[in-house]
Amino acid sequence: MKRFVDQKFDDTITPTIGVDFTPSKIEVDGRVYTLSFWDTAGAEANGMTALQPLFYRNAEGVLLVYDVTRRESFDDIKSWDENVEYYTNNPHIVKMLVGNKIDLVDRAVQKEEARDFALRSSMLFVETSALTSENINNCFDQLVSSVSVFF
């Protein structure tokens, strides 16, 4: 998210503590969309699970991001997806599974496994690198294009 919003890589970013909100604009197919990013990765670890319904309630699209070098981050995706399904009130919510850090060589999650999971879970799928910017813009373009079909 930070790579997309700031258009640069920042290796000093610390993990989210609680929730981080960041607005941004994107142009896709000649239309400008305003995105509201809620980085909730730190919410669960910091006892803020009671706020989850607020994050998901009116969401039109969700990025479920894991680190391709950390197996446990991929394994946690199922739980995050269940939360999205439970708390959203949008029957057309678009979910995208995003494998990040593909620039690193010590993979713990293979692309084929993640793609299969995304397909079974009715999610879009992309792998990215915040360091090199590979597929970062494509990720958001795909999500916005898919969401705009319903709105």
The pLDDT-based confidence of 33 (bands split at 50, 70, 90) is confident
Cα 126 from Cα 6, distance rounded (Å)? 20
- The pLDDT tens digits for 50-70 are 677 777 788 888 889 999 999
Cα 57 from Cα 21, distance rounded (Å)? 15
What separation in angstroms does the CA of 87 have from each of 33, 45, 49? 24, 18, 11
What's the number of domains the chain is made of?
1
- The pLDDT tens digits for 103-137 are 999 999 999 999 999 999 999 999 999 888 899 88
Domain with 27, as residue range(s), is 2-148
Q: What is the pLDDT of residue 24?
A: 77
Q: What is the pLDDT of residue 49?
A: 64
Q: Sort strands 94-100 and 124-127 into parallel, antiparallel or unpaired.
A: parallel
Transcribe 79-99 into DSSP letters.
HHHHHHHHH---TT-EEEEEE
Q: What is the pTM of this model?
A: 0.80
Q: What is the CATH number of the domain that holds 64?
A: 3.40.50.300
